[in-house]
Structure 1
Amino acid sequence: MSPAPVPPALTGLDPTVRHLYVHVPFCPSICPYCDFHVLTRRAGLVEAYLAKLDEEAARLADTFDIDLDTVYLGGGTPSFLRDAELSALVGSIRRHLGWGRVENTLEVNPGTVSPERAALWRDLGIDRASVGVQSLDDATLKFLGRQHDARQAREAVSTLVGTGFRVSGDLITAVPGQPLDADIAGLLDLGVGHVSAYTLTIEPGTEFARRGVTVHEDDERRGFERTEERLTAHGLTRYEISNYARPGQESQHNLAYWHGRTYLGLGPGAAGHYPARPDADGGWQRADGQPLLTVRRTNPHLHEWLAGGVGEGELIDAHEYVTDALFMGLRLRDGIDLAGLSRRSGVDVRAVYGAPIAANISRGLLALDGDQLRATPEGWWVLNRVVTDFLEEIPE
């Protein structure tokens, strides 16, 4: 089957999919704050997962025009896969979909790293490691339910840096008693070029929620501001709300999300953002007649996915594409180019959304420089509220 032709309405969007996310749901244990689709491995599950993944990769290759720039192996804990299993997974991707020319990332649990495994990962073509450090303080790690300690985290990062990976370290902030300054300094001393800093969030259904753990807004705000202060003082740039990098170390895969590009979602629970095709439900139009630009689809969880379930799909028309792009693009330090967004969507963004743009500029939450719209530091803090104003302007 050859990829479908691109309709005239989509001439502003790249019809070729250049990014791939692969979800590996297996973890050695489930952290009490985690609300992702993860589970511990059982006999036969990984084998069934790999076989189904190969089938799904072949189907995606038959459906879309694909020329990959980035691949991101996330989870779960992809590095928890045994060497032969990870090799098989990468083999399926390469066989059906190709491999990223620009960046290929593996999410890594510190307890899974050894010099031999790091060398294998490099041989497989993985060049970037996103390491779930979370903290370099043993008491904080114990509170977070992590299975590694600070020594293992330091050794893992050092090994990966020494093996030639571009390394990103994850930190969780606003944890009671956390020595945040020491965590930041220790991580940078290890040589990482990128830091992702996320506030501890208590999601419904997690173990922390059942225990009644809470995060105070003052602690959240303090961590938000202190992280920026310390990381920028050490030469990293805050290029997205939660992400900091030295020049050239930005996550190219995640930038694709924030710039509203399409990407493949492979594996159980994986989300994808696909170019619209004439055989998608509703063809080139939604049931209400609105032009259809893209389709978002989230795969079902493992057992339903193994049984052939297709998950949930959402048809994205031009105005929904714009509001999604604004929400993602305003997370970036540089914001979003409104003229470019108008070309991609076919919507005159400044005309249709002039009122919420002006209102939020007057509140000090947005700033506009030519066609470049960005959130101010205060706007970042209340970004959900800002985007709600744009949602209210969607034409009936």
Structure 2
Amino acid sequence: MSVPAPAPIRHLYVHVPFCPSICPYCDFHVLTRQSGLVEQYLAQVEREAERLAAEYPVELDTVYLGGGTPSFLRDSEMAALVGSVQRWLGWGRAENTLEINPGTVSAERAAHWRALGFDRASVGVQSLHDPTLLFLGRRHSAAQARAAVEHLLAREFRVSGDLITAVAGQPLEADIRGLHELGVGHISAYTLTIEPGTEFARRGVTVSEADERRGFEVTAALLAELGYERYEISNYARPGQQSQHNLAYWHTRHYLGLGPGAAGHYPAAAPAVSMRRTNPHLHEWLAGAQGEAELVTGHDWVTDALFMGLRLRTGVNLAELSRRSGVDVAREYAPAIRANVERGLLVQEGQQLQATEAGWWILNSVIGDFLELDLARP
């Protein structure tokens, strides 16, 4: 009896760590460019892409270039990076996203990126209010952000605009309406979070719970009024504008991670359900280090899948989680499900489990109830 071929991996994340400057709230693996580093990065991307192609069957549906500031790469550098990806791994059949800083966009560059094969742009607008941008350490202006979106839409990109909420003094409603009036089909709205080790943390910047709650509620209400569907806690889309790549994350699909600091989620042999691997930071990665691999077993995989899947409006299907993990999810996690349904934080209809808006607000606490059951297992 022949063994079935492993299913191909259909999603690729590429990390570009270079930024023109480091924002005071950022805790990603980013650095300013230095002489020779980009050239070394591009050469190592080629080698790693070749290795991934040899190790896994790949038929890409989505590609996502994130960072960092991928659009900070010069045109020739971007062409080389895309060439390496396409040569060894192919290109996304459904969606190819480029993260873009508004200050890097011109009509000519938008045309160049479109010609390379990108069809979706995730633009780090953050705000359309210059004082808010100044506080956030952004180097672009509101006018530059508007012009960037217009250039990209003119080249028929599907455009997503990022907003940061819960900034004191931010005119949030004006920011939201401004993006809507520009014509973006997707908006990602994230609460300003002060992470340890960032400049904001060192400066003692805080975010009030009142501002956080207001941002959460105003964003949801106004974007619903404007015709955007909230399909994930922080993401809103017009029909057909959902991020197919990010949906792969939230549905716990396998994906390749390429580049320094990039995370990947890979198939694994039983009894493991999958393997997660995060690449080391730039200098170790340039030396050929591959990072540590972590095998994910049944119950750990389930709690990961719940944490990701309950972020979605549609939630998770318990039977599907059981099939993929080998764990009877409905039975083994029944106490956590029942308790959170009674508290109004989850809703269960048959095998479908969804978070309510109240549950979204404290999702970490909800998932904590599932983790407690894992910790209590013999």
- Could you tell me which of 34, 37, 40 is aligned with 1:45? 37
Question: Where does structure 1 lack aligned partners over 5 or more consecutive residues?
Answer: 8-13, 278-283, 285-290
Equivalent residue in structure 2 for 1:199, among 191, 195, 208: 191
C-alpha displacement of 1:319: 1.2
Residues 1:264 and 2:244 aligned together:
no
Q: Which residue of 1 aligns with 2:7?
A: 15
Q: Does 1:68 align with 2:60?
A: yes
Contact kept, 8 Å, 2:165 with 2:189, in 1: the verdict is: yes
Name which of 237, 242, 245 aligns with 1:245. Answer: 237
Contact residue 273 and residue 324 of structure 2 kept, 8 A: no
Aligned equivalents of 1:84 and 1:347: distance in 2?
Answer: 49
Q: Which residue of 1 aligns with 2:276?
A: 296
The 3-state SS of whatever aligns with 2:230 is strand
In structure 1, the partner of 2:112 is: 120
Match of 2:140 among 124, 133, 148: 148
SS at match of 2:32: coil
The residue number in structure 2 matching 1:345 is: 325
Q: Distance in 2 between matches of 1:151 and 1:384?
A: 37
| Aligned-pair CA distance for 1:120 | 0.8
- State the identity as a percent: 71
For 1:142-291, list aligned pairs within 5 A: 142-277=134-269, 284=270, 291=271
Residue number in structure 2 paired with 1:55 = 47
Q: Distance in 2 between matches of 1:219 and 1:15?
A: 45
Runs (4+) of structure 1 exceeding 3 A deviation are none
The CA distance in 2 between the partners of 1:375 and 1:15, in whole Å, is 30
Which letter does structure 2 place at the counterpart of 1:203?
E
Are 2:369 and 1:383 aligned? no
**AA partner of residue 318 (structure 1):** G
What SS is found at the alignment partner of 2:373?
Answer: coil
Task: Give the conservation status (yes or no) of the 8 Å contact 2:261–2:278.
Answer: yes
Q: Which amino acid aligns with 1:18?
A: R
Structure 2 SS opposite 1:268:
coil
CA distance 1:6–1:174, change in 2 (3 Å): farther
Cα shift readout 1:227-257 (whole Å, capped 9, x = no counterpart): 0011110000100000000011000000000
Question: What is the distance in 1 between the residues matched to 2:298 and 2:81?
Answer: 35
How far apart, CA to CA, are the structure 1 residues paired with 2:363 and 2:168?
25
Q: How far apart, CA to CA, are the structure 1 residues paired with 2:30 and 2:346?
A: 37
Q: What is residue 10 of structure 1 aligned with on the other side? A: none
Aligned length: 374
The alpha-carbon distance between structure 1 residues 6 and 213, as it changes in their structure 2 partners (threshold 3 A), is farther
CA distance in 1, matches of 2:223, 2:293: 39
1:313 aligns with 2:293: yes
Specify the code of the residue in structure 1 equivalent to 2:331: A
Query: Is the Cα contact below 8 Å between 2:15 and 2:66 reproduced in 1?
Result: yes
**TM-score (structure 2 length as normaliser):** 0.97
Q: In structure 2, what is the Cα distance between the partners aligned to 1:42 and 1:346?
A: 48
Tell me, yes or no, if the aligned pair for 2:164 and 2:189 is still in contact at 8 Å.
Answer: yes
Query: Which residue number in structure 1 is paired with residue 354 of structure 2?
Result: 374
User: Aligned letter for 1:267?
Assistant: G
Once the two structures are superposed, residues 115-152 of structure 1 have per-residue CA deviations (whole angstroms, 9 ceiling, x without a partner) of 11111111111000000000000000000000100000
Give the Cα separation in 1 of the matches to 2:94 and 2:136: 34
Paired residue secondary structure (2:47)? helix
Cα distance in 1 for residues equivalent to 2:352 and 2:273:
23
Structure 1 residue aligned with 2:87: 95
**How far does residue 6 in structure 1 lie from its aligned partner after superposition?**
6.6
Cα distance between partner residues in 2 of 1:306 and 1:6: 36
| Match of residue 33 from structure 1 | 25
- Provide the aligned C-alpha RMSD in A: 1.1
Tell me if structure 1 keeps the 8 A contact 2:266–2:276. yes
Deviations 1:320-365 (A, max 9, x none): 1111100000000110111111111121110111111011101111
Matching residue's letter, 1:380: W
The CA deviation at 1:15 is: 2.9
Q: Distance in 2 between the 1:391 and 1:95 partners? A: 42
**Unmatched 5+ residue regions in structure 2?**
none
Q: TM-score, normalised by structure 1?
A: 0.93
Q: Distance in 1 between matches of 2:315 and 2:75?
A: 40
Partner Cα distance (1:17, 1:321) in 2? 18
